[in-house]
Amino acid sequence: MRTTLDLPEELLREAMKTAHIQTKTKVIITALEELIRKCKISEIKNYKGKVDLDIDLNSVRGRQCPF
């Protein structure tokens, strides 16, 4: 999809340099993908301590209890 954007040139150059990306399109796509990834991680963190998994990690990993 073609879109016209008015972006600060210095910000775009810095992002391209920092990420070692050669094209403006690729740096914007990468930034959008990273934003989505971070938001999904943030949503997953909301479940911390709320999901009770009754899993015996020793048996899952094939470990034998020495006791």
Mean pLDDT computed over 9-17: 97
Confidence tier at 66 by pLDDT (50, 70, 90): low
Position 15 in a domain: yes
Extract the tokens encoding 58. 């020793």
pLDDT band at 39 (very low <50, low <70, confident <90, very high): very high
Pairwise CA distance, residues 22 & 63, whole Å? 48
Domain assignment present for residue 42? The answer is yes
Residue 15: give the domain boundaries: 1-47
- In a domain? residue 9: yes
Per-residue pLDDT at 22: 97
Total structural domains within the chain: 1
Q: Is 26 domain-assigned?
A: yes
Residue 58 located in a structural domain: no
| Alpha-carbon span 41 to 32, nearest angstrom | 14
Q: What is the mean pLDDT of residues 19-42?
A: 96
